[in-house]
């Protein structure tokens, strides 16, 4: 009996030893501490600890950040003063071999999140433009540009806060800085363009960061004017064939300027205008939907119904939907979308109603009635691509001579008013959701 017990004990010890030996010699397994850790967003100067879970024995640890070894511990404290994308690899090693885990960390500046609101003027209605910042907690901060750039100011009558990659381009009708370029993460001033042969600069677009185009409010000189971002000047020569370009944001599609010019859809190729198509009524704009498709709006009239046209990769129409006669999609209705769902939004300016079109069901509907919502005069409307919410800036005193403040209305995707932000700026002309 005692011999059997001894043999059994020895067998158990042997199995335990084999198990321990097996555990020691297996390649260690790595998993993220949180499921979303493969892609992390963090603000600059904020400390973050990366602590992956390790299963099995590890004899050596190694952290490699953008190709450079930065630590040899089981965790890594990450903190950066500069915005950007950081690729981090964590390696562990034991006698059986190596294994690794990859992180991608996006470091954003203080204005790389939240909402930016461009003001046309200041509280007097006669002064410089400004930028307000609405943070993720709903706190509004007015005129952040001036506080960040001592001694500098945005020129009056700012119309657009245009983002291209890591910069914002801010247009001004009156100048002297007709285009002000700032860092998209910090809003620190980069440079200005005050050499312009045209005034009344309204909207701007670029597809390469080297050249671009502006349009102007002066209808006698309407059209697109080339911008040289290297030599920092705006040309006096109108781009031939662009005279009928609408006074709305200049559309870009797949790294090319593709926009409306009266009843034509045009594209800029090699600095020249190419007519892509001609319609019975004015082109109201283009907007992108969730499947990376672009839809073109064509204005309605007493003779022709408004319609939406889906474009293929060559900007040719592959689907067309006529709307009911109550919808006109006016060119000044500013067609917009979040680009991440099926909805396109615009204002029926004659009725003061924001409408939307569902590109899946092919149906249009009235979405927000300004009068019912308490909106007096909408000066801007944009869709938040992160959640599909509609933001409308209302400037109620714009024609009364009172303080030119703007209130911000935020509607969810059902059309319900989710939040109102009082005095978010002064005659807000643009709303931007940092990407």
CATH number of the domain at 160, please: 2.130.10.10
**The domain that contains 53 carries what CATH number?**
2.60.40.10
Confidence check: pLDDT of 13 > 80: no
* Per-residue burial over 328-364, b = 16 or more CB atoms within 10 Å of its CB, e = otherwise: bbbbebbbbbbebbbbbbbbbeeebbbbbbebeeeeb
Return d(Cα 34, Cα 49) in angstroms, integer.
12
Q: How many CA atoms lie within 13 A of 140 on its CB side?
A: 17
- Domain contains 94: yes
- Domain contains 10: no
> Is the distance from CB of 189 to CB of 152 less than 8 angstroms?
yes
- Domain contains 12: no
Q: Structural domain tally of the chain? A: 2
Taking residues 345-370, report their average pLDDT: 97
Burial class (CB in 10 A: 0-12, 13-18, 19+), 175: middle
By residue range, what is the domain housing residue 75?
Answer: 24-108
Residue 10: pLDDT band with limits 50, 70, 90? very low
Return d(Cα 286, Cα 315) in angstroms, integer.
11
Can you give the length of the chain in residues?
435
**Does one domain contain both 313 and 376?**
yes
Return d(Cα 346, Cα 157) in angstroms, integer.
23
- Domain contains 327: yes
Q: How many CA atoms lie within 13 A of 389 on its CB side?
A: 18
Which of 89, 78, 72, 71 lies closest to 41, judged by CA? 78
First to last CA, the chain: 76
Q: Residue 25: what pLDDT?
A: 61
- Domain contains 13: no
Q: Residue 17: what pLDDT?
A: 46
Which of 405, 412, 407 lies closest to 393, judged by CA? 407
> Is the distance from CB of 434 to CB of 114 less than 8 angstroms?
yes
Element (H, E) at 84: strand 84-94
**Rg of the chain in Å (alpha carbons):** 28
Q: Residue 18: what pLDDT?
A: 44
**Does one domain contain both 321 and 383?**
yes
Q: Which of 74, 108, 142 is the last residue of a domain?
A: 108
Return d(Cα 92, Cα 30) in angstroms, integer.
8
List of residues 6+ apart from 166 with CB closer than 8 A: 183, 184, 185
Q: Residue 36: what pLDDT?
A: 85
**Does one domain contain both 239 and 333?**
yes
Confidence check: pLDDT of 136 > 60: yes
pLDDT tens by residue, 407-425 = 999 999 999 999 999 999 9
Angle at 333 between CA 332 and CA 338, to 5 degrees: 130
Q: For residue 225, how many other CB atoms are within 10 A of its CB?
A: 22
**Does one domain contain both 92 and 123?**
no
**Does one domain contain both 262 and 339?**
yes
Please give the structure tokens belonging to residue 10.
């020895």
* Residue 429 dihedral angles phi and psi, to the nearest 5°: -110, -15
* Residue 357 dihedral angles phi and psi, to the nearest 5°: -120, 130
> Is the distance from CB of 358 to CB of 367 less than 8 angstroms?
no
**Does one domain contain both 319 and 361?**
yes
- Domain contains 14: no
Q: Which of 108, 130, 165 is the last residue of a domain?
A: 108
- Domain contains 165: yes
Return d(Cα 307, Cα 393) in angstroms, integer.
26
pLDDT tens by residue, 251-304 = 999 899 999 999 999 999 999 999 999 999 999 999 999 988 999 999 999 999
Residue 218: pLDDT band with limits 50, 70, 90? confident
**Does one domain contain both 221 and 363?**
yes
**Does one domain contain both 99 and 135?**
no
Residue 310: pLDDT band with limits 50, 70, 90? very high
Please give the structure tokens belonging to residue 205.
């677009």
Taking residues 377-385, report their average pLDDT: 97
**Does one domain contain both 262 and 397?**
yes
Return d(Cα 294, Cα 171) in angstroms, integer.
26
Q: How far is Cα of residue 300 from the mean position of the Cα atoms in its chain? A: 29
**Does one domain contain both 70 and 158?**
no
- Domain contains 1: no
E-strand spans in 250-386? 258-261, 264-269, 272-278, 283-288, 294-298, 307-311, 317-322, 343-348, 353-358, 363-369, 378-383
Q: Which of 49, 79, 108 is the last residue of a domain?
A: 108
Residue tagged 């050499």 (tokens): 195
**Does one domain contain both 65 and 123?**
no
> Is 37 strand, coil or helix?
coil
Q: Residue 414: what pLDDT?
A: 97
DSSP 147-195: HHSTT--BPSSEEEEEEETTEEEEEESS-SSSEEEEETTT--EEEEE-E
Across the chain, mean pLDDT equals 93
Residue 400: pLDDT band with limits 50, 70, 90? confident
Handedness of CA 136, 432, 401, 349 (dihedral sign): negative
**Does one domain contain both 143 and 93?**
no
């Amino acid at each position: 009996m005692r011999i059997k017990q001894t043999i059994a004990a020895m067998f158990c010890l042997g199995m335990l030893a084999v198990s321990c030996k097996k555990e020691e010699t297996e390649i260690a397994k790595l998993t993220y501490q949180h499921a979303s850790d493969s892609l992390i967003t963090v603000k600059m100067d904020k400390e973050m600890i990366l602590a992956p879970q390790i299963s099995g024995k590890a004899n050596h640890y190694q952290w490699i950040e953008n190709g450079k070894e930065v630590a040899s511990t089981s965790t890594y404290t990450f903190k950066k003063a500069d915005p950007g994308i950081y690729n981090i690899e964590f390696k562990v090693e034991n006698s059986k071999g190596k294994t690794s885990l990859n992180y991608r960390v996006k470091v954003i500046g203080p204005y790389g999140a939240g909402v930016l609101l461009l003001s046309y003027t200041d509280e007097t209605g006669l002064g410089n433009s400004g930028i307000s910042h609405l943070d993720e907690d709903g706190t509004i901060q007015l005129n952040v540009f001036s506080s960040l750039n001592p001694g500098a100011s945005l020129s009056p009558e700012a119309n657009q806060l245009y983002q291209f990659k890591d910069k914002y381009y801010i247009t001004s009708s009156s100048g002297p800085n007709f285009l002000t370029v700032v860092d998209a993460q910090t809003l620190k001033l980069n440079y200005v363009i005050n050499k312009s042969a045209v005034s009344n600069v309204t909207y701007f677009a670029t597809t390469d960061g080297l050249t671009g185009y502006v349009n102007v409010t002066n209808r006698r000189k309407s059209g697109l004017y080339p911008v040289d971002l290297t030599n920092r000047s705006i040309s006096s020569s109108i781009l031939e064939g662009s005279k009928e370009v609408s006074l709305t944001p200049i559309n870009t599609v797949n790294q090319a300027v593709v926009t409306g010019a009266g009843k034509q859809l045009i594209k800029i190729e090699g600095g020249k205008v190419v007519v892509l198509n001609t319609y019975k009524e004015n082109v109201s704009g283009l907007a992108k939907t969730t499947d990376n498709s672009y839809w073109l709006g064509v204005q309605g009239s007493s003779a022709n119904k408004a319609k939406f046209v889906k474009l293929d990769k060559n900007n040719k129409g592959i689907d067309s939907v006529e709307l009911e006669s109550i919808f006109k999609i006016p060119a000044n209705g500013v067609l917009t979308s979040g680009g991440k769902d099926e909805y396109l939004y615009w204002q029926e300016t004659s009725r003061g109603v924001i409408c939307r079109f569902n590109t899946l069901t092919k149906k249009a509907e009235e979405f927000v009635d300004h009068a019912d919502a308490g909106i007096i005069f909408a000066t801007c409307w944009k869709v938040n691509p992160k959640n599909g919410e509609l933001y409308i800036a209302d400037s109620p005193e714009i024609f009364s001579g009172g303080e030119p403040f703007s209130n911000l209305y935020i509607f969810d995707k059902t059309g319900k008013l989710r939040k109102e932000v009082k005095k978010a700026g002064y005659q807000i002309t643009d709303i931007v959701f940092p990407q």
